[in-house]
Amino acid sequence: MPEEQDRELRALIGRVKQNDDRALNGLVEKYGILLKSAVNSALTNPLFSPSDRDDLYQEALLAFYRAAQTYDLGQEDVTFGLYAKICIKNRMRTVIRKYKRRKARSQSPAVRRTAPGPAPEEQNEYDAALLQRAMTLLSERERSVLALRSIGMRYAEISRTLGCSVKSVDNALKRARSKIRTYAREHRQ
């Protein structure tokens, strides 16, 4: 990479480290092919269907963002592109492992119901009530972040809206999802 381009890229990464959304968008534009390639590669796995594309893209984007946040600008042995590719590849492997475990659990005889379950509309009502009760376990920050994410806001937008870092948004979402999953597992019919 020519020296001028390398300097521009390092400056862009430096701005991403300071939570500059425009810099992140610029970096995503530069490496969009890498992100799409990782998603397309994951979609070749029979665990996934084309409807999983958006979820996989979000996972790749999150890994890419973390790569930009953790890339050491002082080192010169590994390019950012290679570092980001490794981070994304590792994240996709983790996602595949999670999907495999989830699928194995759902096919386990201990998990399968022997008696027919409730009618779909009853199950939906029950799930909605369960979610509402689980929401009471969340902190105010977790509820706010979850609500904003559920209407389609991006991490950076939520960060600006709530006046916190993107990492805080990510942590709040992880905690909220974990609490809801745990509650649902413990109280499911």
Q: Decide: 162 and 145 in contact? Cβ < 8 Å.
A: yes
Backbone angles phi, psi at 77, to 5 degrees: -80, -35
Q: Which of 76, 107, 138 is the last residue of a domain?
A: 107
Residues 38, 101 within the same domain:
yes
Backbone angles phi, psi at 136, to 5 degrees: -70, -20
Place 165 in a pLDDT band, splitting at 50, 70 and 90.
very high
Q: From CA 176, how far away is CA 170, in angstroms rounded?
A: 10
| pLDDT top residue among 177 and 130 | 177
Place 128 in a pLDDT band, splitting at 50, 70 and 90.
low
Please give the pLDDT value at position 111: 46
Backbone angles phi, psi at 93, to 5 degrees: -60, -40
CATH of the domain at 92: 1.10.1740.10
Residues 91, 157 within the same domain:
no
Residue 158 lies in a domain: yes
Q: Which of 107, 130, 150 is the last residue of a domain?
A: 107
Q: Decide: 159 and 166 in contact? Cβ < 8 Å.
A: yes
Count how many domains the chain has: 2
Please give the pLDDT value at position 151: 77
Q: From CA 73, how far away is CA 56, in angstroms rounded?
A: 27
Mean of per-residue pLDDT scores for the chain: 82
Residues 137, 159 within the same domain:
yes
Residues 9, 71 within the same domain:
yes
Q: Decide: 66 and 87 in contact? Cβ < 8 Å.
A: yes
Instruction: Tell me the residue range of the domain where 173 lies.
Output: 120-187
Residue 115 lies in a domain: no
Residues 8, 96 within the same domain:
yes
**Orientation of helix 21-30 relative to helix 155-162, angle to 10°:** 170
Residues 87, 144 within the same domain:
no
Residues 8, 99 within the same domain:
yes
Residues 8, 91 within the same domain:
yes
Residues 59, 131 within the same domain:
no
Q: 18-70, pLDDT tens digit by residue?
A: 988 888 889 999 999 999 999 999 889 888 888 888 888 888 988 898 889 88
One DSSP character per residue, the chain reads --HHHHHHHHHHHHHHHTT-HHHHHHHHHHTHHHHHHHHHHHHTSTT--GGGHHHHHHHHHHHHHHHHHH--TT--SS-HHHHHHHHHHHHHHHHHHHHHHHHHHHHSTTTS-SS----HHHHHHHHHHHHHHHHTTS-HHHHHHHHHHHTT--HHHHHHHHTS-HHHHHHHHHHHHHHHHHHHHHH--
Can you give the pTM of this predicted structure? Answer: 0.56
Mean pLDDT of 152-173: 89
Please give the pLDDT value at position 109: 57
**Orientation of helix 32-43 relative to helix 80-107, angle to 10°:** 30
Residue 113 lies in a domain: no
CATH of the domain at 130: 1.10.10.10
Residues 97, 36 within the same domain:
yes
